[in-house]
Amino acid sequence: MTADASRRGPFEELVVLVSPDGEAIGTAPKSSVHHAETPLHLAFSAYLFDDAGSLLVTRRALDKATFPGVWTNSACGHPAPGEALNDAVCRRVADELGLAVADLRLVLPRFSYRAQQDGIVEHELCPVLVGRVAGTGPAPRPDASEVEATTWVPWTVFAGDVLSGARSVSTWCREQVAELDSLGPDPAHWPEADPADLPAALPR
């Protein structure tokens, strides 16, 4: 539940705890929220495309507490209390990958999941957004504490491999790709979702 402010460091990141219907019910330190009984909390996933339509795919750092070394979508993170979703995505992508994002669009406002690896649980209301990074295959500048490796993959190749089981990715990425694929073959034409469908805990 909400941590005692007197016991937190001045720069400790907080995540927003939520009820199953998306209402905010408290906060918790990001550093300790994930464990065997992780409470439901707010997050996001971002899929970033270059000007050629390829997806930036990342491998999580080998020493991350949750799902270390797993290949996944471009970026994941947690909105801070009171932080707008687009601002959270841009902040995280800049910090984690050294990239600027343009043309962010919400595509899966109600995505949620629960996943477990090595006794650690991810349990999130996790809206999915897509965005653009200028250029063709621009080189990220990853934070090594967060990202082990990156690569650009044509979307049709990535989606086909994930759906067929030929490419191993995180649980949430596999489930998201299945939903994204149902929106159509070209990410540039995926319909933008209604922000009203986002969890109520996110600022409008």
Average pLDDT score, the chain: 93
pTM: 0.93
**Does residue 28 form part of some domain?**
no
CA separation (Å) from 118 to 35, 36, 67, 109, 203?
10, 9, 8, 28, 34
pLDDT surpasses 80 at 9: no
pLDDT of 88 higher than 90: yes
Q: Is residue 147 part of a domain?
A: yes
Using CB atoms within 10 A of its CB, is residue 14 exposed (0-12), middle (13-18) or buried (19+)?
Answer: buried
pLDDT band at 10 (very low <50, low <70, confident <90, very high): low
Quote the DSSP letter at residue 65: S
Confidence grade of residue 76 (pLDDT, cut at 50, 70, 90): very high
89 domain-assigned: yes
30-74: per-residue pLDDT in tens? 999 999 999 999 999 999 999 999 999 999 999 998 899 999 999
Measure the CA–CA gap between 123 and 39, rounded to whole angstroms.
Answer: 6
CATH number of residue 61's parent domain: 3.90.79.10
* pLDDT at residue 98 greater than cutoff 80: yes
Q: How many domains does the chain have?
A: 1
What mean pLDDT is predicted for residues 143-165? 97
Interval 132-142 mean pLDDT: 96
| Residues involved in catalysis | 76, 124
Residue with the two structure tokens 């930036």:
56
CB 125 within 8 A of CB 22: yes
Does 25 reside within a domain?
no
Residue 169 belongs to some domain of the structure: yes
**Rounded distance between C-alpha atoms, residue 125 and residue 86, angstroms:** 15
Is pLDDT at 92 greater than 80 in this prediction? yes
Domain that holds residue 169: 35-197
